[in-house]
Amino acid sequence: MTPTENELILLTRRPQGNVDEDCFTFESQEISPPGPGEVHIRNIYLSCDPYLRLNMSSRFELGKPIPVRAVGEVVATADPRFAVGDVVWGFLAWERYSVARAADLTLVDSKLGPLSHAISVRGMIGLTAWVGMMSIGQPAPGDTVVVSAAAGAVGSVAGQLARLAGARVVGIAGGERKVSHVVENLGYDAAIDYKSGVSLKESLADACPDGVDVYFDNVGGTVLNAVLDQLGVGARLAICGGISQYQVEGQEETNLAKLMGSGATMKWFSIYDHLHELPAFVTRMARLVGEGKIVYYEDIADGFENVIPAFLGLFRGENLGKRLVRVSDEP
Amino acid sequence: MTPTENELILLTRRPQGNVDEDCFTFESQEISPPGPGEVHIRNIYLSCDPYLRLNMSSRFELGKPIPVRAVGEVVATADPRFAVGDVVWGFLAWERYSVARAADLTLVDSKLGPLSHAISVRGMIGLTAWVGMMSIGQPAPGDTVVVSAAAGAVGSVAGQLARLAGARVVGIAGGERKVSHVVENLGYDAAIDYKSGVSLKESLADACPDGVDVYFDNVGGTVLNAVLDQLGVGARLAICGGISQYQVEGQEETNLAKLMGSGATMKWFSIYDHLHELPAFVTRMARLVGEGKIVYYEDIADGFENVIPAFLGLFRGENLGKRLVRVSDEP
């Protein structure tokens, strides 16, 4: 029997500065059965990502559900491409149940590994790390690679990819717990604690005496500026995200003149330009994880009522790895 | 008979802020005949380039001649690679005569076009435009390309290359004379006068309603920042020089966060990483100029005593095209 009652989270106020609980409203709604070409999904894992904060300021509609990636189980279908019991992922929303067009969903193959990985390491998160590090950063044996938010969802993969490609990898993370994690569990060669009180510029100079060849940036602002002062000749910078700047009005500025003639390349890439690479990537990453070459940590909260606290915690740097919320059980 | 007396310009004070005549001293010195492997050159054309200003702050040695590119005639030789009467170019100095290692000189073929072009459009200046526009900017038919210092030594070539590659080209230049020149003589589709009093941001929005796909930057600072506000998706920015910033202490800063996810690529290239491309480029550019596909303007001052005024004038934007000083006659 398919459910008829849904619970969802609406964006009801645009955040000014720091996002807080007052921006969201929980609501119950009836669900109609799926129409032709549609599928009805019981959501299992909902994604919490820093970039959502940016879209809450402008792109997302007020009074509407918040679009996020989710993994769920098909509970009713009006399309021949999916059967009841199939596990799928798609851009759904922070809600218990979703109705989606079959054309917008992708089957998740449980033989490839954990189901949740379809929206983390084996999904767009992992692809983001792959494109930024391998296509833009292009680490080579002997290179020094720096990754910020090194313990985070994307950074943790980016750093491990650079290590597999033969580079020396230095992570930047906040706090002792993350710094140890990055070196001990993720195999980084060194890590810098930006909260330690030591100047980041000095720490970078110590950790990267020959300069930084590749920088994978997840945070922007002060950290980016410190790395710009330590670049080697011909450095490649993959600019992925800027969590430090998402909630700030007066943003950190950079003197670009210092890069003159440096041979440096900075690319502000968007993963949406690379979605065609996802199918091949899924297979590749499943193999790397299966062989233990990439280890991946997820930071999973439980319960639909915890979606907002889990999301807000991202901006306090709470999470070790990819933050997800489990809102119902795996099949 | 080879000369025994030379006249040269020494850097005797490092410029603070704006460079002026007090930084330089004219001196007479005796010249010894060329030793083994050396060649004695009567300089004809001396180069004046904005980038020299940067090197005067640190890289160039105090009390020494100022290294610049020059074209000259061999007047004595102690190396079999060159004969008296050959025209050569090399990194020589602001001086009437130079003694140089034959290995550091390149023969100039007068059949390829004007001799002076060996250190302008057919030389490193032209190669700078070529690398920045073609390898980094990669203009395609239908693209909108913006070039700053559009009437200058490098910009004038960069803009014409983009036009030949099928793009729509918008130049930025200072003053009515340059703006007309760029459109009427160089074939740009449009030009913006940054000195007109109209906001550069508005002018760019008018001239580039679909956004800027390629930006070739010769000036940095305010102009670069205005272009950053008008980028199209996936824009390519070739950062070549920053004449507006060379003499400034507190430099214009940029909020990089606005580029997040834009797909933009910025490369601060150095022509010294591309010198191996020069021989093939010389042939290519000689053909393009010979066929009239690229027109090139040189702004040639006369007389060794005018080297410093010609150089200082660059920072007042006096020059239309490449500034050179003719210090003796062509053979």
Q: What residues contact residue B198 under an 8 Å CB cut-off, 6+ apart?
A: none
Rounded Cα distance between A202 and B101, Å, is 43
pLDDT of B3: 75
Residue A73 near residue A101 (C-beta atoms within 8 A): no
Question: Residue A250: pLDDT above 70?
Answer: no
Amino acid type, A176: E
Token output for A325: 């919320």
Question: Smallest Cβ distance to A256: which of B220, B241, B270?
Answer: B220
pLDDT of B258: 87
Q: How many residues belong to chain A?
A: 331
pLDDT of A1: 57
Token output for A172: 């930047």
| Chain B positions in Cβ-Cβ contact with residue A254 (cut-off 8 Å) | 253-256
One-character DSSP codes across B245-293: GTT-SS---B-GGGGTTS--EEEE--GGGSGGGHHHHHHHHHHHHHTTS
Question: Smallest Cβ distance to A260: which of B261, B268, B272?
Answer: B268
**Beta strand extents in chain B (DSSP E only):** 5-11, 24-30, 38-47, 64-65, 67-77, 87-93, 97-101, 106-107, 144-148, 168-173, 190-193, 212-217, 231-239, 265-268, 298-302, 322-326
Residue B158 near residue B147 (C-beta atoms within 8 A): yes
Rounded Cα distance between A306 and A94, Å, is 11
Token output for B253: 């800063």
In terms of C-beta distances under 8 Å and separation of at least 24 residues, what long-range contacts does A26-35 make, across chains too?
Answer: A29/A5, A30/A4, A30/A5, A30/A6, A31/A2, A31/A3, A31/A4, A31/A5, A31/A6, A31/A97, A31/A99, A32/A99, A33/A2, A33/A76, A33/A78, A34/A76, A34/A77, A34/A78, A34/A79, A34/A99, A35/A78
Question: Smallest Cβ distance to B257: which of A251, A263, A272?
Answer: A251
pLDDT of A176: 96
| Chain B positions in Cβ-Cβ contact with residue A273 (cut-off 8 Å) | 234, 263
Q: Check residue B33 and report its DSSP letter.
A: P
Q: Check residue A132 and report its DSSP letter.
A: I
Ramachandran quadrant class, B96 (left: phi over 0; alpha: psi -120 to 50; beta: rest): alpha
Q: Do A264 and B268 touch (CB under 8 A)?
A: yes
| Chain A positions in Cβ-Cβ contact with residue B239 (cut-off 8 Å) | 256, 259-260
Rounded Cα distance between B309 and B307, Å, is 6
Q: Do B252 and A255 touch (CB under 8 A)?
A: yes
Q: Do B266 and A270 touch (CB under 8 A)?
A: no
Question: Residue A3: pLDDT above 80?
Answer: no
Secondary structure class of A287 (helix, strand, coil): helix
Rounded Cα distance between A120 and A35, Å, is 30
Rg (CA), chain B: 20
pTM equals 0.91
Rounded Cα distance between B178 and B163, Å, is 18
The distance of B324 to chain A (nearest Cα, Å) reads 23
pLDDT of B25: 97
* Among chain A residues, CA nearest to B218: A260
Residue B136 near residue B236 (C-beta atoms within 8 A): yes
Chain position carrying tokens 């889990």: A310
Q: What residues contact residue B111 under an 8 Å CB cut-off, 6+ apart?
A: none
Residues pairing with B10 in the sheet: B25, B65
Rounded Cα distance between B294 and B100, Å, is 32
Q: How far is CA B234 from CA A236, B212, B231, in A?
A: 17, 9, 8
Question: Smallest Cβ distance to A259: which of B261, B268, B272?
Answer: B268
Cβ atoms within 10 Å of A225's Cβ, excluding its own: 18
Regarding beta strands A144-148 and A168-173, do their DSSP bridges make them parallel or antiparallel, or are they unpaired?
Answer: parallel
Rounded Cα distance between A264 and B165, Å, is 25
pLDDT of B183: 98
Segment A36-60 shows an average pLDDT of 95
Question: Smallest Cβ distance to B245: which of A254, A257, A267?
Answer: A257
Q: What residues contact residue A116 under an 8 Å CB cut-off, 6+ apart?
A: A44, A45, A71, A298, A300, A324
In terms of C-beta distances under 8 Å and separation of at least 24 residues, what long-range contacts does B16-24 make, across chains too?
Answer: B17/B247, B17/B248, B17/B249, B18/B247, B18/B315, B19/B53, B19/B56, B19/B247, B19/B311, B19/B312, B19/B315, B20/B312, B21/B308, B21/B312, B23/B56, B24/B66, B24/B308
pLDDT of B241: 78
Cβ atoms within 10 Å of A134's Cβ, excluding its own: 16
Rounded Cα distance between B325 and B308, Å, is 10
Q: Do B220 and A54 touch (CB under 8 A)?
A: no
pLDDT of A249: 64
The distance of A330 to chain B (nearest Cα, Å) reads 33
The distance of A234 to chain B (nearest Cα, Å) reads 8
> What's the whole-number average pLDDT of chain A?
95
pLDDT of B1: 57
Regarding beta strands B38-47 and B97-101, do their DSSP bridges make them parallel or antiparallel, or are they unpaired?
Answer: antiparallel
Cβ atoms within 10 Å of B142's Cβ, excluding its own: 10
Residue A21 near residue A107 (C-beta atoms within 8 A): no
HSE-CB for A29 with a 13 A CA cutoff: 16
Rounded Cα distance between A10 and A23, Å, is 8
Residues of B with CB under 8 A from a CB of A: 54, 220-221, 224, 234, 239, 241-242, 245, 251-257, 259-270, 272-273
Within B42-152, where are the H helices? 51-57, 124-130
Q: Pick B22 or A260 by higher pLDDT.
A: B22
The distance of A40 to chain B (nearest Cα, Å) reads 32
pLDDT of B250: 64
pLDDT digit string (tens) for chain B, length 331 residues: 567 899 999 999 999 989 999 999 999 999 988 999 999 999 999 999 999 998 999 899 999 999 999 999 999 999 999 999 999 999 999 999 999 999 999 999 999 999 999 999 999 999 999 999 999 999 999 999 999 999 999 999 999 999 999 999 999 999 999 999 999 999 999 999 999 999 999 999 999 999 999 999 999 889 999 999 999 999 999 999 777 677 766 678 998 988 988 999 999 999 999 999 999 999 999 999 999 999 999 999 999 999 999 999 999 989 999 999 999 999 9
- Closest alpha carbon to A65 in A36, A90, A28: A28
Residue B152 near residue B160 (C-beta atoms within 8 A): no
Question: Residue A63: pLDDT above 70?
Answer: yes
Residue B153 sits at the vertex; the CA angle it makes with B63 and B151, to the nearest 5 degrees, is 135
